[in-house]
Amino acid sequence: MTVIDLRSDTVTQPTAGMREAMARAPLGDDVYGEDPTVNKLESWLAEHLGFSAALFVPSGTMSNLLGLMAHCERGDEYIVGQHAHTYKYEGGGAAVLGSIQPQPLDNQADGSLDLNQVIAAIKVDDFHFARTRLLALENTMQGKVLSLEYLAAARKLTQEKGLGLHLDGARLYNAAVKLGVDAREITQHFDSVSVCLSKGLGAPIGSVLCGSSAFIAKARRLRKMVGGGMRQAGSIAAAGLYALEHQVERLADDHRNAAFLGKGLHELGFDVEPVQTNMVYVQIGERAQQLKTFCAERGIVLSASPRLRMVTHLDVSSTQMEQVIAAFAEFGSR
């Protein structure tokens, strides 16, 4: 039985071409700055996304942490969505390790933060308050794409208010492919961007933080401090480079499969949220555990969540989406 794992786009195996690129990569000690493949990946992304420098790190969590810590000092504050990964799913790292206070705001239905609420949350210069330094956005946000108009408005606001603007772009390329634009159209609005290579792009490990040279120099120091300095890291950087060169356009397949799955489940009577990229959210309610077990018996791996997230990726096919729809049909929508 071939397993259909829809828990996340992190579950993919490296493709044959990727494994070959990893095996062939020239290597050096990256803590000395001597790994040619890491250097190539960093300069490739910096150039393509319009930044002067970039830093390869083991995970998106570390990339966001270093980004926040490079923007904010102890006692500073960042404004962030209540459901943002940096705030909710990274163990409170910015607060624990950076002494950075988060100011969470509710995410709007479209994944954005209301810019009037952002303005209202910025604290005046008064010793009672933490110093508001940064706005952090996420794109895609639970599969939703922030519009370019919104990003331009956020850029304008942060410039007027003297804040930095960071993007958790774990799925930046899903957003770019969905909008049909070069990723730079998105990243041009930000001071720093974190990109995951290990999500839909299909690399086994790695994220890259992009920003100005001074910003990345600071982040590089912090990376060593948190234990993220890696040695012959070119073997994994090669996977990231391969993904960026060969596995970006195919994200459209994942979006098509997700749309197909969402439509199929909706037609069965399930309560499905509108699908934009590679994520399908379905209200399952209290039958979540039951559905997980039911699907597991049919080779379909799901999380057990009342608001179930299913994620398409390069290791699931359109035919398999039909199998998933058939399993849900058998399970029944109520």
Ligand X SMILES: *Cc1c(COP(=O)(O)O)cnc(C)c1O
For residue 141 the two structure tokens come to 């946000």
Please report how close the Cβ of residue 86 comes to ligand X at its closest, in angstroms: 7
Q: Which is nearer to ligand X, 64 or 187 (CB)?
A: 64
Q: Which residue has the closest beta carbon to ligand X?
A: 60
127 to each of 69, 120, 132, how far by Cα in Å?
Answer: 21, 18, 12
Q: Which is nearer to ligand X, 76 or 168 (CB)?
A: 168
Please report how close the Cβ of residue 212 comes to ligand X at its closest, in angstroms: 21
For residue 41 the two structure tokens come to 């990946």
Q: Which is nearer to ligand X, 203 or 327 (CB)?
A: 203
Please report how close the Cβ of residue 197 comes to ligand X at its closest, in angstroms: 9
Which CB contacts under 8 angstroms, 24+ apart, belong to 218-227?
Answer: 218/70, 219/55, 219/66, 219/67, 219/69, 219/70, 220/55, 222/65, 222/66, 222/69, 222/70, 223/55, 223/57, 223/62, 223/66, 224/31, 226/62, 226/65, 226/66, 226/97
Please report how close the Cβ of residue 8 comes to ligand X at its closest, in angstroms: 8
Q: Which is nearer to ligand X, 133 or 171 (CB)?
A: 171
Q: Which is nearer to ligand X, 25 or 203 (CB)?
A: 203
Please report how close the Cβ of residue 237 comes to ligand X at its closest, in angstroms: 15
Estimate to the nearest angstrom the gap between the alpha carbon of 201 and the chain centroid. 11
Q: Which residues bind ligand X (CB under 6 A)?
A: 59-61, 64, 85, 138, 168, 170, 196, 198, 207
Please report how close the Cβ of residue 67 comes to ligand X at its closest, in angstroms: 11
Q: Which is nearer to ligand X, 60 or 102 (CB)?
A: 60
Please report how close the Cβ of residue 199 comes to ligand X at its closest, in angstroms: 6
Beta strands at 271-272 and 53-57: parallel, antiparallel or unpaired: unpaired
Please report how close the Cβ of residue 33 comes to ligand X at its closest, in angstroms: 23
Q: Which is nearer to ligand X, 85 or 133 (CB)?
A: 85
227 closest CA partner among 42, 73, 78, 93: 93
Q: Which is nearer to ligand X, 200 or 234 (CB)?
A: 200
